[in-house]
Amino acid sequence: MSIDYRSSLSRLRARRLGTDHGKISLHETITKVERYQTRSTTDATQYTLGAMQEVDPDYTRISNEEADRVAEALRGGLASLGRSASYRQQGSVPANTHIRGASDVDLLVLLGEALTYDASGPGAAKGWYTPWSGSVLSAVRQLRTDCEGILERRYWGATVDTSKNKSIRLSDGSLRRDVDVVPGHWGDNATYQATLLERDRGVHILDKSVPTTTMNLPFLHAARLGEGDVPTSGGLKMAIRMLKNIKADSSRVIDLSSYDIAGLMWNCDQSLLRFTYGRELAILLGTDQWLETLVQNPSYARTLDTPDGIRKVLNESAKEAALALLASEVAALRQAVAEEWMRTLKSQRFATARRSVLDEIFIPG
């Protein structure tokens, strides 16, 4: 399989600078040179370095600012209706595993007047909660209706897409980033009642098509990714970003979500992903070895849990085929990078062990 990494580099650059969706003008970015572009002149190696690198913090700051701006609009609008809510972000941006310069953001809007709780938890046993006489589901449905009206009035020049079952999508107009507003309510599970740490607190997101709410643990997911990243010195999140970029640039459909990809790599042996200065290519090698292990041991791969413990990572049979596709793309990149460096090193000792090249390479800068 021959892959054109020069074209992949072009797509990667557009994605990182936000020109792929027209959120940031080409004029603003045409002279911008990122660090990965100066560290290698060969296509596959430069692509690998860029695919791992975090998005420019200034671009991430704008994503956060737009989420805060929408939250303020909703806060004021709900207050005028005598209602309240809590606002939090979830997803790749707060986890710092996003790959787009113009990343959209998920803004949770969580019901203020009511929540659900685990009656068997220690807080419930101590009488912390007062049963609510109304229907929490009805209250969240009304919250969504109120949010739709507020956003349509406040962002009249933007596109307010209310057709999605779990979110309201804001785009265009004065918005510098797309924002997905996700209504829901808090769910105080037994663990949260014991720790009082928000990372353990559940969030129940409304699906208006049923209607019902489904429980998620977005803060625990992000926290565990952060904890797993520390002993790898950033290598875990570098690997996650790389895989997400590879998926985005593949000519084949790889049906794994960002949540799935993060879960796969969170379970990886940390020694395979440990980053040391100038040796990012060793992370490509470790990722390749880990995915190959999973493909060759499907029964083991099926046992892997997501970081938040909610489900198995490969909870559908189709995801096993998607994993195989992703692994083959990573293997192709690893081989292309090794061949670039073998031509440079011209060393016979690597001739029969191309994989080992990646462990030997130091790239300054």
Check the CA dihedral 68-89-92-269 and report its sign: positive
- Check pLDDT > 50 for residue 350: no
Peptide bond into 211 cis (omega under 30): yes
CB 293 within 8 A of CB 349: no
Say if residue 123's pLDDT is above 60.
yes
Q: Specify the pLDDT at position 342.
A: 80
Tell me which residue has tokens 């290698």.
40
From 191, 259, 277, 268, select the one nearest 228 (Cα to Cα): 268
Taking alpha carbons only, the member of 28, 172, 34, 199 closest to residue 104 is 172
Tens of pLDDT, residues 165-192: 999 999 999 999 999 999 999 999 999 9
Q: How confident is the model at residue 331 (pLDDT cuts 50, 70, 90)?
A: very high
Mean pLDDT score of the chain = 93
The per-residue pLDDT for 131 is 87
In the prediction, which pLDDT does 351 show? 43
d(CA 52, CA 358): 15
Q: In the prediction, which pLDDT does 3 show? A: 84
Angle between helices 235-249 and 5-17 (to 10 degrees): 110
Residues paired with residue 89 on neighbouring β-strands, in sequence order: 107
Q: Give the span between the Cα atoms of 61 and 58, in whole angstroms.
A: 5
Residue 365 DSSP SS3: coil
The pLDDT > 90 percentage for the chain reads: 87
Phi (first) and psi of residue 163, to 5 degrees: -80, -20
Q: In the predicted model, is pLDDT for residue 21 greater than 90?
A: no
Please give the domain boundaries of the chain with CATH numbers for all domains: 58-216 (3.30.460.10), 223-360 (no CATH)
| Structure confidence by residue, pLDDT tens digits, 87-99 | 999 999 999 999 9
| pLDDT tens, residue by residue, 261-316 | 999 999 999 999 999 999 999 999 999 999 999 999 999 999 999 999 999 999 99
Query: Do the Cβ atoms of 165 and 148 come closer than 8 Å?
Result: no
Q: Give burial (CB, 10 Å; 0-12/13-18/19+) of 163.
A: exposed
Structure tokens at 300: 């083991």
Which tokens sit at 328?
């083959």
d(CA 230, CA 234): 6
**Block residue for tokens 């599970």:** 189
| Helical residues (DSSP H) of 250-353, grouped into ranges | 258-266, 281-296, 298-301, 317-345
**Cβ–Cβ under 8 Å, residues 177 and 104:** yes
Nearest partner of 361 among 38, 91, 342, judged by Cα: 342
What's this model's pTM, rounded to 2 decimal places?
0.94
Q: What integer pLDDT is reported at residue 354 of this predicted model?
A: 58
What's the whole-number mean pLDDT along residues 220-225?
98
Of 12-21, 212-221, 247-256, 332-341, the range with the lowest mean pLDDT is 12-21
**Better pLDDT: 23 or 311:** 311
Which H or E element spans position 160?
strand 159-161
Per-residue pLDDT tens over the stretch 36-94: 999 999 999 999 999 999 999 999 999 999 999 999 999 999 999 999 999 999 999 99
Q: How far apart are CA 100 and CA 249, in angstroms?
A: 13
